[in-house]
Structure formats: structure tokens, C-alpha cells
A and B are shown apart, each in its own frame.
Chain A
Amino acid sequence: MSQAGTTVTWAAQVLGGTKVFGSGEAEVRALDGVTVGFEQGRFTAIMGPSGSGKSTLVQCAACLDRLTAGRVIIGDVDATNLDERRLTRLRRDRIGFIFQQFNLLPTLTARENITFPADLAGRRPDQAWFDHVVDAVGLRDRLDHRPSELSGGQQQRVAVARALVGRPDVIVADEPTGNLDSNSSAEILDFLARATAEYGQTVVMVTHDPVAAARADRVLFLADGRIVDDLVGPTRELLLERMGTLAR
């Protein structure tokens, strides 16, 4: 973990996060006392074997699910004990999501999907910013299409645009390129990396593709619900090597 201390501002933090599913015989400890902070304006990747708790960690960090024990802090707000309504608002206003699949509402057009969170909040989106983002992800001529009329890569770009348009404190992406071909994956990763570099957008991304993780500023390794490694400024080679040691 970065020890920069006072100079660092955290977009999101999980402190002593533990998540237990089931009980008794069937008990699964998906997160086991994880403490981690996601630095503002950084692109963080999370890697680890399947079942290591990556999804659980980002879901809890993004307030989609509650921890069994520990605290979650988004920006300067302690989200641990917020009620459902406040938590929902917090998600709506401060967090953007990109999932592996089923990102979009099938009945809405691309444009409507992108502005949906603003709609929920009863706000008009910032038109100039909207145009900028749409052009950046190259969706200008696809805005009035339904998800079913878009390719997988285009759908994922809509999801990225939706996340970016709200200028959230943090964008959480759980294997956003997992279902895409390499070209489309590269595009999506590009957008995320540029968002961090150009607008200072905080991004947290789960992936098990070292090529994807190499684009990040920092990579966390998870195993059995614990953070086992933390790399700043990773290269592909370094990552492959780490993965090799972890798998052993």
C-alpha cells in the first residue's frame, strides 16, 4: 500500500473489509480483512485468481453490496452505515459502473442509457461534456440505436460513456473487456487510461488480462480474500512474473 500519507487523497477506501457469504458448513470468506485505498486520479487494476474475491471487493467498495465487517469510505463520506436511500444516491452521484455484460437497459437507446443516471437524479446532463465524451468514445452516429443494434464493443463503449458523463469520484469496472475481442478491448482500455490521464478520472478495474493491467498506474493482487501484492507502475513482464509466482 502507498505510504504517501497526508499528501494523498483517496477516492474510495475499504478499511478492514470482511465479507462472509453463507453460514456454518457453507460459509465462504470472500474478503478477509482487506484494507485498501484507491488514489484519486489514478487507474488501479485488481488481479487475482478466479474466486479470490476481486468482484466482491469492488462491489463492496462501490457500495453495491455491504461488508460483513469493516468500513467503506467514498471521498469524504463514510458509506458503511448509510441507509439504502442515501447509499443509492451516493452510487448515483459519485460512482460509475462498467460490468462485464448486461450493462445497458435493453429498452433504452444509447443516448438514453448514457443520460439515465442524470435522469434518475432529475438533472439535465452537461451538454458540452456529453458531446465531448460521446465523440471521444466514437458513438456520435450510434446514439439512437438500441443495445441490441450495437456490437459488443459498442455496447461496452456506451457503458464507458455512461460512467464518464456523470464525472463520478470513481469508476468501477469488473472485467469490462472480458467478453470482447482484442481490438475492442484495446479501445476500451484506451478510453479508461485516457480518462485518468486527461481528466484525472479515478478508475478501479478488475481484470485477469496482464495486457489490460499493464495500462494501469498500479496493480493489486488478491488471493483468498487478501491483498497479497501491490505494484506501482507495472509492466507486462513484471505482471506476468508476479502472476507466475502467485500461481505457485
Chain B
Amino acid sequence: MSPGTREPSLSAAATWSAPDPVNQPMIRHFVEAVGDENPVYVDAGAARSAGLPGVVAPPAMLQAWVMRGLKATQELERARAGGRGRAGTAPASAQDEVLARLDAEGFTSVVATNCEQEYFRPLVLGDHLSASSRVESVSDEKKTALGPGRFVTTLTEMFDQAGELVAVMRFRLLKFRPAAPSATTAATSAGATAGAATAGAATAGAAAAGAPARASREDLGAGMRPGPVLTRDNAFFFEGARLGKLLVQRCSSCGTLRHPPAPSCAACRSLEWDAVESCGRGVVYSFAVVHHPQVAGFEYPLVVALVELEEGTRLVADLEGVAPADVRIGMAVEVGFAPLSPEIALPVFRPSAPSRK
């Protein structure tokens, strides 16, 4: 993905102060909830033994300190309901304006893709943060399996009471036009709501970054999926998917195709390999319709297919654009791609258009 087009007119920043200073009670609730038993978060002596000035806040709490709180969020919601950007109400964030513009362009659906944080010093008890958030970039239109869309990156800078920059956070989401009204995408479903509910930290993050509450309820599905475990043997597949290519590993010596990838060719033992791009067409060899357990990031019932490609190899991927009851073994399908993060995409199949049959 390109870094995106910077639009100076988008960079007006929203700024606000954290409602509370960094404090021990909130830290204790947080570490107990996540099961982090590191004593430097609760015990000054242990923290000093570790070379720290005193008790520090867990880095993962960063967003929690600058969350506006329920009351302010509700006021913001009411302001939005009453008309975007109306004077005299709580100020709409810079991101609100951008998202409204993308809505107007037809990119009405939203899915969070990832969040990066960078810390410049540990936060200690008594630090009182302020935050400044702006839209850093909006990408050109990209083709994704969810539909055409644009990636929006919001930059939030956090300062301490002395005005020193202590951390930055980049929150990225995809605004897209759903491919079809009946499309079964994780992003627009009620099912994803349950997923987001379990993704508390990420939801809170969206709010802290100034994302509209609407986005934090609807999205975060795809962002929360379990990602692949990348190794030197398999990373090429997911990198290929990010570039819109369904790759199949090929032995450089004898040409045998293999999937899942392996370091050597079982036919000739060669360690040399490259990858060929599949035509992306195949048939459903078998499929499963998952109902339980329901995990954040997926819409249920979820159709997962074992697809036999025209090249002869098989792979597992989600099957979209068809109701579970209408899936058939032998059905012709073709590949598209859905972003999991800016670095990773996944193949996703849909029934082939009738003209392709």
C-alpha cells in the first residue's frame, strides 16, 4: 500500500486534555483485568529496583488516559445526531469531517485495519496528558475484496503537563463501498458488534483517537481476526495477497506446485522455490459453516471453503457473496482479497460470475 496522499486541508487538529492524571487506581484495575502481574505497575519499590523513577503505567493503557469519558462521548453523539458540524455543540473531530466526505463519495462502510503506538518515555503517577488528533493521510482509492475504498490514517500525539511529546498513535481504517447489497462482510454486520464488544481495548482506542462512535461500534471486525503466524517459509503467500495475487509455491527444479508451503520439494528434494500466481479460479471441494464459538472479527454463520484451484492445489479460505444454504460442492468460485492489516491481506472467494462458467 502506498503511504497515502497527504491532504493539508485535512490536518486541522482536535485537541483535548485527559480527564484524570495517571493514577494508581486506574492502573490497578487495568492490570488486574488483563492479568499482568508485573510489579512495576503497582509497587514503587519494585519499580525503583527496575531502574524506574517510581510506579509506571502499562504502555497499553496509553489510550485509556485520554479517553473523553462517557458523558463527553454522549454529547458528541447528540451533536452528530443533531447535524454534523453545527455550531455551538461539542466540536466534531477532524476525522468526522473526513469520514463525512468519504460517506458522500459512497464509501459508507468502515472497518478498522490497525493501530500503532510509539512511546517516548514511561508514564508515571501524576502525569497529566493532553492529546492532539488529526487525519494524517487518506489513501487513493484501493480495490479490496470488501469493495473499493480509501484508507484513513489518524495521528494522535500525546503530551505531558510540560508540553513534552510522550507518545504517538496511528489509527488506520478503511472506508469502503460495499461490493453488493447482499455482501456478507464482517464490517457491516450486527454480528461484528458482538465481536467489537469483546475487543474492548480496540474500541476504546477508536474513541480516544477521535473516531466517531458509529465507527467503533460497526467495525474492528477484520482488525481483530487472528493473524497468520509468519515464518520464512510462508510469509510470501500473505505478502502476495496484499498485492492482490494468489500465490502458489513452485519447485524451481521440477516445477511441482505445493500448498501449504514447505521448505523443500517432496518430489525432488530441491530447496529452491518460487511462486506462481494462480488464475484465482477453482471449485468448492468441501466447506464448513461455522456457528460456534463466535470470535471477534468474523460474521456468523461463516462459510469456510476448501477450494481446489485450476492449478490443482487446494487451500482454505472464506467464501462470501453466497448464502450458506446455497453453497454446493463443485461450485465455481474466484478469488478476491480482503485486508487484515496494511501489511497483510487474505484471499477470499466468491461465486464466479455466470459468464465465467
Q: Do A and B come from one complex?
A: no
List chain B positions with a Cβ less than 8 A from chain A: none
List chain A positions with a Cβ less than 8 A from chain B: none
